[in-house]
């Protein structure tokens, strides 16, 4: 039972609780279970660990379909293992309660993803306030991130991207908090938050190896700002946790640096196709502007973030943080653009950019603070917010994994499915009246949330 003191502390964050529930409920409502081989590959590893105490997925390779690696007569998940490791306690609990069918387990895993997605929205809200943005600006950015970016589409899946975004954002938040504590001469707290940061960044890398680029940039940012003070409190927890990766590789291949990407069953050595300059131009355009996977096609409201970076850079007191945010986004963008697989297979929107989505949203607070009371700005902002929300929500409402052959998934698949009343929701498929209950609950929560800002709006 929670103590009275604990309940009191929790109630201090009543706005954050409302934001979390608002997003978590809508994310969770549209969960259906299995969507793609990507999810199946991770779950196959989870099941192999719990059921057989093995890393080979021989008995579960049908779940993974084509997303498998093959080495010495055994099959393995071709995915970064963090998501599967995270699923181990969830699957163990499922088994304890008798939820053993694949559909039930997928539902549990995706429910956890919805949790991390909603939690990352709350984290972004707190981050804006930490940066001395107003509570209104923080709420606006939280709603943009949670409802008007492609995070919405993948919050209902067992893809690694939402987990990745959460841990990367948490790592950065803990890092800048540590720096603030050191400025306030709270040295003990500064060291503690550095440890939290190192752990969070390590977890983000376990979810997606490519987050090493992001972590490296933020480490350099910290080195520059702190002049290496207390650096071991950041580095040691990071190295200890990420050592799981070479140990995982060694247990399979007998080589710390050999990965499952070197032994893909269908495509051979995937690592050999990274950083191909001949794909860079196509990938950059495709991931930013195309109707296929374009970030600004699906979320044009993020154009305000570009202006946000501009005004943040004009602030001579703090140019390093926006520089680190921008570089982390560019690093992931360029990496995936320079691969033949920049489209991300059967994907609704630029799923590879979900992991750095908080960092492209965050600078928008500068624009909201500067022009928030301008009527023309308000109209343009609302129009772009509605447009962006309609497009990205279609990825959740009608499915986040349309066929790769569709060059405009919204118009060619998701919108027609919505028009034909084909909602991608298990609860809706069982009983359509649940949709009206969900909408009522969401409107009630939104009303309660806006009441917290009645003296601010």
Question: Is residue 10 one of the residues assigned to a domain?
Answer: no
Same domain, 385 and 348: yes
> Does position 204 have pLDDT exceeding 90, yes or no?
yes
pLDDT per position as a tens digit, 183-200: 898 989 999 999 999 999
Q: What domain range is 438 assigned to?
A: 431-457
Confidence of residue 3 (pLDDT cuts 50, 70, 90): low
CB of 76 within 8 A of CB of 70? Answer: yes
Distance separating alpha carbons of residues 153 and 156, to the nearest angstrom = 7
Residue 263 is predicted with a pLDDT of: 86
Same domain, 412 and 443: no
Question: Is residue 241 one of the residues assigned to a domain?
Answer: yes
Quick one: three-class SS letters along the chain? CCCHHHHHHHHCCHHHHHHHHHHHHHHHHCCCCCCCHHHHHHHHHHHHHHHHCCCCCHHHHHHHCCCEEEECCEEEECCCCHHHHHHHHHHHHHHHCCCCCHHHHHHHHHHHHHHHHHHHHHHHHHHHHHCCCCHHHHHHHHHHHHHCCCHHHHCCCCCCHHHHHHHHHHHHHHHHHHHHHHHCCCHHHHHHHHHHHHHHHHHHHHHCCCHHHHHHHHHHHHHHHHCCCCCHHHHHHHHHHHCHHHHHHHHHHCCCCCCHHHHECCCECHHHHCCCHHHHHHHHHHHHCCCCCCHHHHCHHHHHHHHHHHHHHHCCCCCHHHHHHHHHHHHHHHHHHCCCCCCCCCCCCCHHHHHHHHHHHCCHHHHHHHHCCCHHHHHHHHHHHHHHHHHHHHHHHCCCCCCCCCCCHHHHHHHHHHHCCCCCCHHHHHCCHHHHHHHHHHHHHHHHHHHCCCCCC
Average pLDDT over residues 43-52: 96
Average pLDDT over residues 317-345: 92
> Does position 376 have pLDDT exceeding 90, yes or no?
yes
Same domain, 99 and 138: yes
Same domain, 377 and 436: no
Average pLDDT over residues 344-353: 93
Question: Is residue 383 one of the residues assigned to a domain?
Answer: yes
Residue 149 is predicted with a pLDDT of: 98
**Mean of pLDDT over the chain:** 92
Residue 269 is predicted with a pLDDT of: 64
Residue 273 is predicted with a pLDDT of: 60
Same domain, 310 and 435: no
Distance separating alpha carbons of residues 175 and 88, to the nearest angstrom = 28
Question: Is residue 1 one of the residues assigned to a domain?
Answer: no
**Higher-confidence residue: 251 or 65?**
251
Same domain, 377 and 441: no
Average pLDDT over residues 417-438: 93
Same domain, 390 and 437: no
Residue 198 is predicted with a pLDDT of: 98
Same domain, 445 and 399: no
> Does position 10 have pLDDT exceeding 60, yes or no?
no
What is the share, in percent, of the chain residues with pLDDT greater than 70? 95
Question: Is residue 18 one of the residues assigned to a domain?
Answer: no
How many domains would you assign to the chain? 2
Same domain, 388 and 439: no
Confidence of residue 228 (pLDDT cuts 50, 70, 90): confident
Same domain, 359 and 436: no
> Does position 7 have pLDDT exceeding 50, yes or no?
no
Question: Is residue 112 one of the residues assigned to a domain?
Answer: yes
> Does position 250 have pLDDT exceeding 60, yes or no?
yes
Confidence of residue 36 (pLDDT cuts 50, 70, 90): confident
pLDDT per position as a tens digit, 259-317: 998 888 776 666 556 667 778 899 999 999 999 999 999 999 999 999 999 999 988 77
Confidence of residue 318 (pLDDT cuts 50, 70, 90): confident
Question: Is residue 301 one of the residues assigned to a domain?
Answer: yes
> Does position 81 have pLDDT exceeding 80, yes or no?
yes
Question: Is residue 37 one of the residues assigned to a domain?
Answer: yes
Compute the residue count for the chain. Answer: 457
Distance separating alpha carbons of residues 29 and 144, to the nearest angstrom = 19
pLDDT per position as a tens digit, 154-167: 999 999 999 999 99
Residue 275 is predicted with a pLDDT of: 67
Same domain, 333 and 442: no
Same domain, 401 and 456: no
> Does position 8 have pLDDT exceeding 90, yes or no?
no
Return the closest-CA partner of residue 444 out of 11, 12, 21, 7: 21
Range of 7-11, 35-39, 299-303 with top mean pLDDT: 299-303
Average pLDDT over residues 9-23: 83
Quick one: three-class SS letters along 286-301? HHHCCCCCCHHHHCHH
């Amino acid at each position: 039972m929670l103590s009275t003191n604990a309940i009191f502390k929790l109630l201090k964050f009543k706005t954050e609780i409302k934001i979390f529930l608002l997003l978590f409920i809508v994310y969770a409502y549209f969960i259906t279970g299995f969507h793609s081989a990507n999810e199946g590959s991770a779950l196959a590893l989870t099941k192999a660990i719990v059921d057989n105490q093995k890393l080979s997925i021989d008995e579960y390779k049908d779940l993974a379909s084509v997303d498998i690696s093959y080495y010495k007569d055994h099959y393995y998940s071709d995915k970064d293992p963090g998501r599967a490791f995270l699923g181990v306690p969830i699957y163990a609990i499922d088994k304890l309660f008798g939820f053993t069918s694949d559909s039930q387990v997928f539902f549990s895993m995706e429910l956890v993803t919805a949790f991390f997605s909603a939690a990352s929205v709350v984290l972004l809200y707190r981050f804006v306030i930490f940066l001395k943005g107003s509570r209104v600006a923080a709420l606006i950015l939280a709603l943009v991130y949670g409802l008007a970016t492609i995070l919405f589409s993948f919050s209902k899946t067992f893809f690694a991207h939402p987990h990745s975004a959460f841990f990367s954002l948490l790592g950065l938040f803990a890092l800048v908090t540590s720096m603030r504590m050191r400025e306030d001469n709270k040295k003990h707290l500064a060291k503690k938050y550095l440890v939290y940061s190192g752990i969070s960044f390590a977890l983000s890398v376990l979810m997606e190896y490519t987050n090493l680029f992001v972590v490296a940039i933020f480490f350099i940012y910290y080195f520059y700002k702190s002049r290496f003070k207390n650096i071991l409190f950041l580095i040691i927890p990071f190295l200890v946790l990420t050592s799981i990766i070479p140990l995982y590789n060694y247990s399979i291949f007998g080589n710390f640096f050999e990965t499952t990407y070197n032994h893909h069953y269908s495509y051979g050595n995937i690592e050999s196709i990274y950083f191909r300059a001949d794909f860079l131009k196509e990938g950059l355009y495709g991931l930013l502007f195309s109707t296929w996977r374009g970030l600004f096609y699906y979320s044009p409201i993020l154009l305000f973030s570009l202006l946000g970076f501009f005004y943040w850079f004009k602030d001579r007191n703090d140019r390093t943080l926006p520089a680190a945010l921008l570089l982390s986004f560019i690093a992931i963008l360029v990496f995936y653009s320079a691969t033949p697989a920049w489209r991300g297979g059967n994907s609704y929107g630029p799923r590879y950019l979900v992991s750095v989505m908080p960092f492209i949203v965050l600078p928008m607070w500068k624009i909201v603070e500067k022009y928030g009371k301008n009527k023309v700005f308000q109209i343009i902002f609302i129009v772009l917010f509605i447009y962006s929300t309609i497009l990205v929500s279609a990825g959740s409402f009608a499915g986040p994994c349309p066929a790769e052959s569709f060059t405009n998934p919204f118009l060619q698949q998701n919108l027609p499915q919505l028009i034909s009343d084909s909602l991608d929701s298990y609860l809706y498929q069982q009983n359509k009246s649940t949709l009206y209950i969900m909408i009522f609950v969401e409107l009630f929560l939104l009303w309660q949330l806006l009441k917290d800002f009645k003296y601010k709006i």
